[in-house]
Amino acid sequence: MAIIKNIKAREILDSRGNPTVECDIYLDDNSFGRSSVPSGASTGMHEAIELRDNDKGRYGGKGVLKAISNILEIVAPKIINQSFDNFYDFDENLLSIDGTKNKSNLGANATLALSLAYAKALAFQKKEELFKYLSKDNNFVLPVPMMNIVNGGSHADNSVDIQEFMIAPIGAPNFSESIRYGCEIFHSLKSKLKSKGLNINVGDEGGFAPNINSSNEVIELIIEAVNSAGLSMNKDIVLSLDVASTEFYENSKYYLKGENKILSSDEMIEYLKALSSTYPIYSIEDGMSEDDWEGWENLTKEIGARTQLVGDDLFVTNIERLQEGINRKIANSILVKVNQIGTLSETLDAINLAKKNGYTNVISHRSGETEDTTIADLAVATAAGQIKTGSLSRTDRTSKYNQLLRIEEILGNEAKFAGRQIIRY
Ligand code: PGA
Ligand code: ZN
């Protein structure tokens, strides 16, 4: 067991050019862990609190000096010269220092930075790769990447309603080939867009952000790009959507501005049903809004048997909300975002609760990211089977894929790729 000797915390920038928290923890044997915290744009209202300074004189109010001072002035004096049995104990101590349900005292950006840095320091101390250190049973699985090649919604300045159009290379023989499939499709899509006079600039998650009004048209273009890359739909590639519908839900209606449609909850379900029966879409995230539980129940009844229905804003990586969803038979999968809940151990609790109840896990980045690649290790360590970490461009996205490539190399012959087994039908 090692004693915490020093803690540093600083303001750094995320991929959107907003400040975020970075934290370093040193143990007395010079073991060291560093983490940095991502940040969402289409955040769920039930997420743990991300503490911002709201001082309009700095970074338009987005500074995180309060969260940093909470680390240095409130937490550090209580834990320096202390030791903990494991990161669960460390996190529990953090929760008791914070004392709130939603981390509003310290800020989830402060608690997550500490929690991840501490776990990394322990892995360093054990001279273990993070994915090995985090695993309970050494069942390492390389996830199928859901690659977000067209960005819309609040991640892009275009007329696409659905936030994320993703390709999942289920037919690739291994993880590195899945990256090659994704990349070749990404470049083929780029040429296709260009040849049609559409914009090839990218959105927050590195996917293209053309002005296209219809979701069907976006999907048709992606399918063309898959074929031009010499790959086949279903055999090699299936599609996945993050509708992020909370963003366009108001007064019990879904406002699809690009498509010029205002839909009731039932009509929204029909819309999703039509999309998923027309195209090979194996997974739909946040098809319904975070508090439209009845809509979620109906959607799950309608298409849950053959489609993975992922709760992001719905569950916010929170075991209480997930348990309620399980009780009400809502969705069949959870999106896992470390900063939605604010500690590593609570993240693992959510993953385990999902597994116990036959829900799948999709480990996820945020639209505002840093160079921290913890989620890559987390996906392998928990054998989640799926990761969503953006497109095949921009280092904030590719850094996670690159870490997975390194892990695949370390595992060598033992590397297993989740592949086709993630499909429900
Ligand atoms: P966010 O988007 O990080 O902006 O919340 C990601 C998602 O909705 O899955
Ligand atoms: Zn989402």
3-state class (DSSP) for residue 121:
helix
Total number of domains constituting the chain:
2
Residue 93 lies in a domain: yes
Burial 223-235 (b: 16+ CB within 10 A, else e): bebbeebebebee
What φ, ψ does residue 320 adopt, rounded to 5°? -70, -45
Same domain? For 43 and 145 the reply is no
3-state class (DSSP) for residue 149:
strand
| Cβ count near 36 (within 10 Å) | 22
Residue 1 pLDDT exceeds 80? no
Q: Mark whether 337 is an active-site residue.
A: yes
Ligand 2 centroid to residue 128 C-alpha, Å = 32
The torsion angle over the Cα atoms of residues 88, 91, 97 and 103, rounded to 10 degrees, is: -130
Range of the domain at 122: 4-127
Helices (H), 126-245: 130-134, 175-195, 215-228
Closest ligand to C-alpha of residue 315 is 2
Same domain? For 182 and 65 the reply is no
d(CA 232, CA 277): 18
CATH number of the domain bearing residue 348? 3.20.20.120
- Residues in the 5 Å CB sphere of ion ligand 2: 242, 285, 312
Ligand 1 centroid to residue 363 C-alpha, Å = 12
For residue 39, which of 342, 249, 318 has the smallest C-alpha distance? 342
Closest ligand to C-alpha of residue 363 is 1
Query: Residue 278 to residues 260, 282, 308, 422: CA-CA distances in angstroms?
Result: 20, 12, 16, 20
Ligand 1 centroid to residue 82 C-alpha, Å = 36
Same domain? For 119 and 153 the reply is no
Same domain? For 85 and 175 the reply is no
* Pocket lined around ligand 1, Cβ cut-off 6 Å: 40-43, 242, 244, 312, 335, 364, 366-367
Residue 135 lies in a domain: no
Q: Domain boundary residue among 95, 127, 159?
A: 127
Same domain? For 247 and 323 the reply is yes
| pLDDT tens readout for residues 23-81 | 999 999 999 999 999 999 999 999 999 999 999 999 999 999 999 999 999 999 999 99
Same domain? For 78 and 24 the reply is yes
Same domain? For 389 and 251 the reply is yes
Mutate to test the pocket of ligand 1, among 42, 46, 334, 361 (most ligand atoms within 8 A of CB): 42
For residue 40, which atom of ligand 1 is closest to its CA?
3
| pLDDT tens readout for residues 171-230 | 999 999 999 999 999 999 999 999 999 999 999 999 999 999 999 999 999 999 999 999
Separation of first and last alpha carbons in the chain: 47
Residue 133 lies in a domain: no
The sheet with strand 32-36 has its strands ordered as: 4-13, 19-27, 32-36
Candidate list 164, 205, 346, 369, residue with the active-site label: 205
Q: Mark whether 177 is an active-site residue.
A: no
| pLDDT tens readout for residues 391-418 | 999 999 999 999 999 999 999 999 999 9
Residue 298 lies in a domain: yes
Same domain? For 34 and 170 the reply is no
| Cβ count near 369 (within 10 Å) | 28
Same domain? For 145 and 107 the reply is no
CATH number of the domain bearing residue 47? 3.30.390.10
Same domain? For 219 and 245 the reply is yes
For Cα atoms 31, 32, 35, give the angle at the middle one, nearest 5 degrees. Answer: 155
Same domain? For 183 and 294 the reply is yes
Residue 132 lies in a domain: no
Same domain? For 365 and 253 the reply is yes
Closest ligand to C-alpha of residue 43 is 1
Q: Domain boundary residue among 75, 96, 127?
A: 127
